[in-house]
Amino acid sequence: MPQISSCIKISRDSESIFATGVYKPRVRCFDTKELSMKFERCFDSEVINFQILSDDYSKLVFLQNDRHVEIHTAHGRHHRLRIPRFGRDLEYHHPSCDLFIVGVSNEIYRLNLERGQFLKSFESDSSAINKCAINPEHHLLVVGNQEGKVEAWDPRIKDKVGSLDCAFYLATQNQSMDEVPSVTSLKFQDGLTMGVGTATGQILLYDIRSNKPFLVKDQMNDLPIRGLEFHNQMDLVYSMDSSIVKIWEKNTGKLYTSIQSTAEFNDLCVVPDSGLLFIANEDPKIQSYYIPNLGPAPSWCHWLDSMIEDMEETNFETVYDNYKFVTEKELEELGFSDLKGTNMLRAYMHGYFMDIRLWRKAIDAIKPFSYEEFKNKKIREKVNEERASKIHIDKLPEINKELAFKLSENKKKGSIGLLKDDRFKGLFSNPDFQVDKNSEEYVRHFPVVAQLDKSKQKQLRALEAKESKEKILTAFDENEQREDSDEELLRHDSSSDDEKPWTEEFKKKYRQLKRVTVLPAQVTS
């Protein structure tokens, strides 16, 4: 489909597959013999549901969301009519040629396709009807309404013959329900077994001779049940909501398998007597699944069985998705060495596979603050990266020192280029370019240097103090070198006074005097 597919069904002769979708609203017919699209027809409105009237593709009826019903034949649209209220579902009764339409009303509309006219409607006790179904054996009509009840009508006597209060039964079993579980899905397996799906995600299986279900299955998603199907050979039930398709045993409710959604599910179609099924969903591509254990592939796609046989003969390496690989050393650190030889560990190469849940619990018990350490480490790395990305000037120039500091703290590309560009070198080296803060032009124009905040000024003063300290240390080193050179000269002097002791004392006092004179602040500190 161009965007999404809403409904999908297969004809009774299994030669045609019909699917409706948007956008533009349309129906597509796929031929199973040719494995190609047979035809495509577009509508004026979206299709809510449709029914196949004949055994092949030649007769169809579509219920649209603008209250129109379209009847199609092999050549195209045959007739289009309008119903009084918005419809929600429709079913075709083959013995009487009656088309039953239900919707936002208490009436069950009856359109006789043989006579081409509406008959007297059945009047239900509900405010709105969501779903309808016809038993394939005794042709009993059942409708599910908004109040969570299922009503049964006999088309032969044209009267209601019974009702089931599904909402009341679920309320007695579960007191915490916040809404009325209206009926959203109905399906018959045979003459006696009926499945009912509700808006709160429960499936009730009834024997129509009893007013209590023999099994209640909860889908556990709190989503309306959109599709119900039965697998007669293995006695299984397909239940579908918008997120998952579950296949489970009819008598026990035990889960057989499930299909997770990659897109929201809309409709379910199971190919009879096979393990193939189609799912209409909120995606352009209709999803198809083949489960060999549920049955063989249909005759028109028989190659699926041969593919499965080839896959079974091929040896695949076992991959443990829910297991964690640990070595001997890691096993000892976790304290699980005594689990060797048990089912908790699976030997593999030079280590073991351990259940990921058990491994996580062991890590949490051994290192309860490992996550905090990891988080702090990442924070430190992020801070260091930000610090490294900043541009610093190792030594501020003597000219326009505040302007240079301001540009070094600015991250804009223009400011960085100004500091590195040789064309502006004289701005920080030539005294003629020194900014005079006391000038009238400086006060009038209020340049960027004057916008330094207090924190930037503190940083500048700290940087100047650092530079002055480095200058003092440099001067001290030069003085030490100078003293050493003086000592060498005095030591190599050939004067006779070097032999006298008063000379050594004079030299000592001379060195102390020079140190006090050059570095008074250093001596005081």
Q: Are 74 and 55 in contact (CB under 8 A)?
A: no
**Closest C-alpha among 200, 186, 215, 108 to residue 154:** 108
Matching residue, tokens 């965007």? 3
Q: What is the rounded distance in angstroms from the CA atom of residue 74 to the CA atom of residue 375?
A: 67
Mean pLDDT of the chain: 79
Residue 288 phi, psi (nearest 5)? -130, 140
pLDDT at 498 over 50: no
Q: What is the pLDDT of residues 5-59, one digit of tens each?
A: 999 999 998 899 999 998 899 999 999 988 899 999 999 999 999 999 999 899 9
Of the candidates 460, 401, 461, 393, the residue with the CA atom closest to the CA atom of residue 431? 401
pLDDT digits (tens, 9 = 90+) for 203-213: 999 998 888 99
Residue whose C-alpha is closest to residue 78's, from 66, 62, 95: 62
Whether residue 151 is predicted with pLDDT greater than 90 in this model: the reply is yes
**pLDDT above 80: residue 97:** yes
How far is residue 173's CA from residue 218's CA, in Å, rounded to a whole number?
12
- The reported pLDDT for the residue numbered 503 is 58
Tokens (6 digits) for 518: 């050059």
Count of C-beta atoms within a 10 Å radius of residue 33: 11
Section 278-301 average pLDDT:
89
CA 485/CA 232 separation, integer angstroms = 110
CB 83 within 8 A of CB 67: yes
Question: Residues of 175-203 as b/e, b for ≥16 C-beta within 10 angstroms?
Answer: eeeeeebbbbbbbbbeeebbbbbbbbbbb
Between the CA of residue 495 and those of 266, 491, 503, 511, what are the distances in Å? 113, 10, 11, 20
